[in-house]
Amino acid sequence: MDESIALDTLAALAQSTRLAVFRLLVSHEPHGLPAGDVAAALDVPQNTLSAHLAVLARAGLVEGERQGRSIVYRARLDALRALMVYLARDCCSAHPELCQPLLAELACCPPAKASR
């Protein structure tokens, strides 16, 4: 990941509704949620949610898949992982023991899957 992609990704998440959408979708992996369910869960109007999902999709953080009459959105965990690695790449200044608390907190995250 280069700096411009990291900045675009962080900018997409730097808004409370988009951050809530992304966190909700992460919590519903691997199945995702239909857009209507996301809107209902966060009490966001459909048109507003659509605009937020578009920003997240352009940043590569979510993807939608049509299933019948709905679009089911999923968090792109590979993009989240890439951002986390970018942010922590120079962490610890060659003292990996300093990163252990962070790694322990991230132990809940599933390993990377093959590309979708």
Measure the CA angle with vertex 8, ends 4 and 14; round to 5°.
140
Strand duo 62-67 + 70-75: pairing: antiparallel
Q: pLDDT tens digits for 79-113?
A: 999 998 888 777 767 666 776 766 666 665 555 44
Domain residue limits, the chain: 1-109
What average pLDDT does the structure give for the chain? 87
Residue 70 three-state SS: strand
Element (H, E) at 34: strand 33-34
Q: pLDDT tens digits for 65-77?
A: 999 999 999 999 9
Q: How many CB atoms lie within 10 A of CB 95?
A: 8
Which CATH architecture best describes the domain 1-109? Orthogonal Bundle (1.10)
